[in-house]
Structure 1
Amino acid sequence: MVIIHSLNIQINEIITYIKEHYNTINSIDELSNHFGYSCFYFSRVFKKETGFSIKQFISSLKMEASINNLVIKNNSVLASHLKAGFLSATTFSKNFEKQTGVTPKQYQKSLKRLYSFMKDYEQIEKISHSHYENPVKQEINSKCVVTLDYPSSYEKGVSFIGLFKHPIPNHRPIVGKAVVGSKICILDNIPPGNYYLLACSIEKNGRLSDYFVLNKALRCKIDNGITFPKQHMAIFNLTFRKALPEDPPININLPKLLFDDLK
C-alpha cells in the first residue's frame, strides 16, 4: 500500500495511476485502499480537486479507449467495448451515445464523411461558427472574450472553445465556438450558471484519427469555474499546450457537433 500524506498535492499522480490502471481497477474502495485512504475521503477530495468524480473519470477513459479502437484500430463495436473494459454492451452503447451524440456504429460509419468536411472547413482562411446547446433569449447578454495563443511552430487548424458544465469534456458545451484563422473568440448568449472554459486545437492537415481521437490535440483551460452573469464582460487568455498525462480525455465528437450546427 502506498501512503500519501497530502492527497490534494498528489492528485496528478493519482490521475496518472488511474489512467494506467483503469481497466484493472475493480472498485473505488480498491483504489482508495491502494493510496491509504478511506473511500469517502478519497472520493471527496478527488472530486473537490478535479471537479469530476472518479467514476466519471474512469468511464471517460474507457470511452476514449473504445473510440481509439473504433477509429485507429478499426475494431468491431463488440471488440471495441470489450477491449475498453465495458462488460455490458447496453451500458457501453448508452454511454457512447451520451458522450458522442451517436451510436458506436453510426460513429464509425460517419468517419470519412466528417473527415472530408473538416478538411474543407480548415482550409477557409478565416471562419468561425457558434454553438448554443439550449438557445434562449435573455435580458442580459452574458459574454466572454477569449484570446488564443499558439506555439510558434504550430500549423493552426480548427480550434474549439467552449463552456462546459464539468471540467472533464465528455459532454456537449453549453456555448461553444469553432474558429479558423483567428486569435480572438467571443462566446455570447451565455445562460446563467457556473461553467468551465476548455479548448482544444486540431493541427491542420492531420490524419483522419487526429480529428476524432483527440489525445494529441493541443488544449488549454481556465482551472476554476466561471459564474455567469457577470457585472462586467469576462476576458480570458488561453495558451495552447500539448496534453499532459493528468489531462482528462476529450470524447466529444467535435466534427459532428460542428457539422450538425452548420447543417
Structure 2
Amino acid sequence: MDDVITEAVLRVVESMQENLGEQLTIDEMARTAMFSKFHFSRVFQRVTGLSPGRFLSAVRLREAKRLLTATTLTVTDISHRVGYSSVGTFSSRFTSSVGVSPTRYRHLDRLTAPAAAANRRPAQVPTAMTVRGDISSPLEGRPVFAGLFPDRILEGWPVSYTVIHTPGPYVLEDVPEGRWHLIAQSAADGHEGALNLPASGDEALCIGRHGPITVQEGAGPEQADLALRPMSAFDPPVLLALRELLPAGLSPALAVGR
C-alpha cells in the first residue's frame, strides 16, 4: 500500500485517539489527512475496512470500555469524555456494540462465567448451515475466538461463534443464510480471561478477517481458513465483550463452545 496513504490514515487515527471528546467532522479528518473529503473517505475505508465515522465511533467506545474498568468515573462523565452529548445515546450505542450495558460491563469481572454465558445465547435457526476451516496464529497455545458478523468489525452479537483451546480446526454451526464476515482473535497475555481486551487496549491482540462469506441453503459446508496476525493501528477496535459468550461451566481462559 502507498506509504503516503498509510501515513495519512495513521495521522487521522491518531487524531481520533487524541480528540475523543471533540466533535470531529469528515472535513476536519480530511484536512488532517491532506486529502479531499471524498478521496479521503474512499481511502480510509480501503485501509481500515470501515468508514471514518464508524471507525471513530469504535475508537470512542474502546476508550469508554477502558474508563469503565480502570476508573470510578460515572457513566455520564465517561460518555462526555468520549464525545457523546447524550448519555442515553451513549448507553444505547455501547450496549448494541459491546453486547452489554456500560454498567454491566463495569461489573463483568465480578460475574461468573456461567452467569455471564446464560445471559444471552444465539437462537438456533431451522435452515442453518456450517462454516469450518483452520485458524493459524503466531500465538501458539492461546485460546482463539471465531465468530460470524454482518460487518468487518467485532461488535454486536455474532450469528455463530466458537472458542477453541489453541489455533487449529474450528466449526461454526447453525449459521443462517446471508453474507457474513469471519473474524477471529486471540490475546497475547492470559489476564482478563485471555478472551477480553487487556486494560491497555488492542495492542496485545492477534486478529484475522475473512469474507464476506455467502452462506446459502443446500450449498454444503463453507470452508474458510484464517491466519491471525498482530493487530495494527488500522484495525477497527474490538468492541464485543467476549466474556459474555463463554459457555456455562468452563473457565474464561480455556473455554470451548458455540
The normalised TM-score by structure 1 is 0.76
Query: Are residue 135 (structure 1) and residue 135 (structure 2) matched?
Result: no
Query: Are residue 178 (structure 1) and residue 163 (structure 2) matched?
Result: yes
CA contact (8 A) 2:155 2:238 kept: yes
In structure 2, the CA distance between the partners of 1:210 and 1:236, relative to structure 1 (3 Å rule), is closer
Q: Distance in 1 between matches of 2:166 and 2:195?
A: 19
In structure 2, the CA distance between the partners of 1:173 and 1:75, relative to structure 1 (3 Å rule), is same
User: Deviating runs (4+, > 6 A) in structure 1?
Assistant: none
CA contact (8 A) 2:50 2:236 kept: no
Which residue is 1:124 aligned to? Answer: none
Q: Distance in 1 between matches of 2:194 and 2:60?
A: 17
Query: Are residue 256 (structure 1) and residue 244 (structure 2) matched?
Result: yes
Which runs of structure 2 are paired with 1:23-62 in the superposition (5 Å)? Answer: 23=19, 24=22, 26-47=24-45, 50-62=48-60
Offset of 1:142 from its aligned partner? 2.7
Offset of 1:212 from its aligned partner? 3.8
- Counterpart AA for 2:181: Y
Query: Which residue of the other structure, out of 205, 223, 226, is the alignment partner of 2:190?
Result: 205
Q: Distance in 1 between matches of 2:53 and 2:94?
A: 15
CA contact (8 A) 1:143 1:188 kept: yes
Could you say what secondary structure the match of 1:248 adopts? Answer: coil
Which residue is 1:225 aligned to? Answer: 212
Deviation string, structure 1 residues 130-184 (Cα, Å, up to 9, x no partner): x97353111xx532212122326x441x321011111011222121112224621
Query: Are residue 16 (structure 1) and residue 1 (structure 2) matched?
Result: no
Structure 1 vs Structure 2 CA RMSD: 3.2
CA contact (8 A) 1:25 1:31 kept: no
Q: Mean Cα displacement is larger for which, 161-170 or 210-219?
A: 210-219
Q: Distance in 2 between matches of 1:46 and 1:150?
A: 27
Q: Distance in 1 between matches of 2:194 and 2:164?
A: 20
Structure 1 unaligned regions, length at least 5: 1-5, 122-130
Which residue is 1:103 aligned to? Answer: 101
CA contact (8 A) 1:50 1:167 kept: no
Q: Distance in 1 between matches of 2:189 and 2:167?
A: 14
Q: How many aligned residue pairs are there?
A: 238
Which residue is 1:243 aligned to? Answer: 231
Query: Are residue 195 (structure 1) and residue 189 (structure 2) matched?
Result: no
Q: Distance in 1 between matches of 2:27 and 2:147?
A: 34
- Counterpart AA for 1:193: G
Q: Distance in 1 between matches of 2:155 and 2:146?
A: 14
- Counterpart AA for 1:20: E
Which runs of structure 2 are paired with 1:77-156 in the superposition (5 Å)? Answer: 77-114=75-112, 117=113, 133-138=122-127, 141-151=128-138, 154-156=140-142
User: What fraction of aligned residue pairs are identical, expressed as a percent?
Assistant: 23
